[in-house]
A = this chain, B = another copy of it.
Amino acid sequence: MATTDESIVLQCGDCTTLLRDVESDSVDLCITSPPFADARKSSYGGVPPDQYVNWFLPMSREVFRVLKPTGTWILNLKEKVVNGERHTYVIDLIKALREQGGIFTEDYVWVKPNSTPGKWPNRFRDAWEHLLQFNKQRHFAMYQDAVMQPRAENTAKRVRHLSENDCRRMKSATGSTFGKNNSHWVGREMVYPSNVLTLATETKNRGHSAVFPERLPEFFVKLFTLPGDLVLDPFCGSGTVGCVCKRLGRRFLGMEIVPGYVELARERIFSSS
């Protein structure tokens, strides 16, 4: 499908099929949030949890093929509750991707302070998701200095003056997990983040039910690519990763099966320039 900018390519169709036409060892970073099991039924049909791994593997084989040896894949997933317990499709998939040759380098956690409300007799609301990092080699490209952030104010001092309950509520006050109060960058000592990203979900209606906050792909694009590098999102939805790549000067290849979302992504990516 045609594009209006050679460095940003959007394709409409099934990504497993479309990926067959992508050159091997050409992608620096794949970052994607595939439809979770049983989710987004109205637009994607909803893959049953028990069939999720088998549904996933033909696609992942292509992703590993097109990824550069030094490239990275960041995969956003979350366990669904089925019959009162967390389903194992995510951990089954981790095992399967390792058998496909992937190296399970890290499990970043995305903490969502404004997660969907809800309380049930047996559980509280779900405020975190996986960001699984897979690689083809143990040595991969990583630019850690690009994601440094200011050190938080003296945490220990604050903790001492907080009540018991306030301490559990300190989500935005402490430490150097990524996404905390970054309001005063100037003149602050910079530190490396951790493997916990605390970022609120988008609350503005973007016409898509599962939109990344831009700072999430931005973190990984800066961490794993340089300007001019190629970023792939095989389930690009409304194009958040593409927007970030355009802004940061990375090339982007996005695939999406729902025509309406492709149009939405095109508008979002090219209207901002």
A20 at the interface (CB under 8 A from B): no
A194-217 Cβ-contact flags toward B at 8 Å (1 or 0):
111111100001011100000100
| A149 near B123: Cβ-Cβ < 8 Å | no
A14 at the interface (CB under 8 A from B): no
A155 at the interface (CB under 8 A from B): yes
Task: Determine the distance from Cα of A76 to Cα of B142 in the docked complex, in whole angstroms.
Answer: 30
Surface stretch bound by B, among A3-11, A22-30, A167-175, A239-247 = A167-175
Surface stretch bound by B, among A82-90, A226-234, A249-257 = A82-90
Copies per complex of this chain: 2
A95-107 Cβ-contact flags toward B at 8 Å (1 or 0):
1001000011111
Task: Determine the distance from Cα of A105 to Cα of B86 in the docked complex, in whole angstroms.
Answer: 6
A88-B94, A107-B79, A122-B105 known; A164 and B198 CB under 8 Å? no
Task: Determine the distance from Cα of A119 to Cα of B223 in the docked complex, in whole angstroms.
Answer: 13
| B95 near A128: Cβ-Cβ < 8 Å | no
Task: Determine the distance from Cα of A107 to Cα of B128 in the docked complex, in whole angstroms.
Answer: 10
| B113 near A168: Cβ-Cβ < 8 Å | no
| A198 near B178: Cβ-Cβ < 8 Å | no
| A117 near B168: Cβ-Cβ < 8 Å | no
A109 at the interface (CB under 8 A from B): yes
Q: Which of B105, B127, B219 contacts A195 (CB 8 A)?
A: B127
A103-B84, A109-B109 known; A169 and B150 CB under 8 Å? yes
| B175 near A209: Cβ-Cβ < 8 Å | yes
| A91 near B86: Cβ-Cβ < 8 Å | no
Task: Determine the distance from Cα of A179 to Cα of B105 in the docked complex, in whole angstroms.
Answer: 29
| B104 near A86: Cβ-Cβ < 8 Å | yes
A159 at the interface (CB under 8 A from B): yes
A21 at the interface (CB under 8 A from B): no
Q: Which of B113, B139, B149, B155 contacts A114 (CB 8 A)?
A: B155
Task: Determine the distance from Cα of A115 to Cα of B219 in the docked complex, in whole angstroms.
Answer: 20
13 contacts between A and B (CB under 8 A): A79-B107, A109-B109, A112-B175, A113-B176, A114-B155, A117-B178, A124-B195, A168-B197, A170-B198, A174-B200, A174-B205, A175-B200, A175-B209
Q: Which 4 A-B pairs have the closest CB atoms?
A: A113-B175, A127-B194, A113-B174, A91-B91
Known: A171-B198, A175-B209. 20 other contacts (CB 8 A): A85-B105, A88-B95, A88-B104, A114-B174, A115-B194, A116-B178, A121-B142, A122-B140, A123-B195, A125-B194, A126-B194, A127-B195, A149-B168, A159-B200, A167-B199, A167-B200, A168-B197, A173-B205, A174-B205, A174-B209
